[in-house]
């Protein structure tokens, strides 16, 4: 099923059914190793997937449910895998692929609300931590479809802050801590202008720990 971008002047179609090739395989993995009540789930796309959360946090209670290339519709489809065992916390970072696939900002924000509502309904004791989208850096010239979308990123982050307050979930503003003085993703934190280096992941973990989001 295809939907049409509400921005009539652009006439760009967008597809809510898009799923990356590894989607089904990884969902099967998540089903095979469901989270328990003491577990912390990291839910998102490739930026989450490539984070060595368990090793960095030195905890067996970490479940990495990142899927490279995933969009908010994909997260909604596999939400039951994230909350099946009623985990203690779920950290979510999703949306940059939606932007690259021309999914409207308003639709992305509505999906954020649906994700939160789904977790509240299916696992009401789980604490939800929604993290903002990160800046990008076009100087790497590797992922042109992801660059120069700061307007969308900032609009979504601002909308997420409002949703988090309304839905009583924790809003984590990563964006300013990963942006340089020009608003670009800090070069040392990325290798292609979108994905993170080991230094970028170390900064992310430090940020979460310093603010006691992770024990």
Closest CA to 13 of 2, 22, 24, 21: 2
Would you say residue 121 lies in a domain? yes
Q: Averaged over 140-160, what is the pLDDT?
A: 98
pLDDT of residue 12: 64
CATH number, domain of 107, equals: 3.40.50.1110
pLDDT digits (tens, 9 = 90+) for 168-190: 999 999 999 999 999 999 999 99
DSSP 51: -
What's the pLDDT score for residue 13?
Answer: 84
Over the stretch 111-145, which tens digit does the pLDDT of each residue have?
999 999 999 999 999 999 999 999 999 999 999 99
In a domain, 59, yes or no: yes
- Which helix (H) or strand (E) element contains residue 157? helix 150-167
In this predicted structure, what is the pLDDT of residue 5? 46
pLDDT at 4 over 70: no
pLDDT at 11: 60
Tens of pLDDT, residues 188-200 = 999 999 999 999 9
Number of domains in the chain: 1
129 domain-assigned: yes
- Strand, coil or helix: 152: helix
Whether the full predicted model's pTM is greater than 0.85, yes or no, is yes
| pLDDT at site 25 | 98
What rounded mean pLDDT belongs to the chain? 95
Name the nearest CA neighbour of 122 among 62, 89, 179, 82.
82
Confidence class for position 215, pLDDT limits 50, 70, 90? confident
Residue 83 lies in domain: 2-210
Q: Percent of the chain having pLDDT more than 90?
A: 93
Tens-digit pLDDT profile for residues 33-73:
999 999 999 999 999 999 999 999 999 999 999 999 999 99
In a domain, 215, yes or no: no
pLDDT surpasses 70 at 146: yes
Q: How high is the pLDDT of residue 152?
A: 98
Q: In which order are the strands placed within the sheet that holds 62-66?
A: 62-66, 40-44, 89-93, 127-131, 170-172
6-23 pLDDT, tens digit each: 444 456 689 999 999 999
Report H helices in the chain.
23-32, 46-49, 53-57, 72-77, 79-83, 96-100, 105-122, 150-167, 175-178, 198-210
């Amino acid at each position: 099923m295809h939907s049409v971008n509400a921005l009539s002047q652009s006439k760009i179609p967008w597809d809510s059914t898009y799923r990356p090739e590894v989607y089904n395989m990884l969902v099967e993995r998540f089903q095979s190793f469901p989270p328990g009540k003491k577990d912390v789930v990291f839910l998102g796309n490739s930026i989450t997937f490539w984070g060595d959360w368990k090793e960095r946090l030195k905890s067996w209670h970490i479940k990495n449910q990142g899927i490279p290339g995933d969009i908010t519709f994909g997260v909604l489809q596999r939400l039951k895998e994230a909350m099946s065992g009623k985990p203690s916390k779920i950290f979510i970072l999703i949306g940059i692929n939606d932007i690259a696939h021309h999914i409207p900002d308003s639709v992305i924000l509505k999906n954020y609300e649906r994700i939160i509502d789904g977790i509240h309904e299916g696992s009401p004791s789980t604490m939800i931590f929604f993290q903002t989208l990160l800046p990008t850096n076009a100087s790497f010239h590797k992922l042109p479809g992801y660059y120069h979308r700061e307007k969308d990123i900032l609009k979504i982050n601002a909308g997420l802050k409002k949703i988090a307050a309304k839905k009583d979930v924790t809003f984590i503003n990563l964006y300013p801590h990963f942006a340089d003085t020009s608003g670009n993703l800090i070069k040392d934190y990325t290798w292609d202008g979108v994905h993170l280096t080991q230094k970028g992941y170390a900064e992310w973990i430090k940020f979460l720990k310093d603010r006691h989001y992770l024990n």
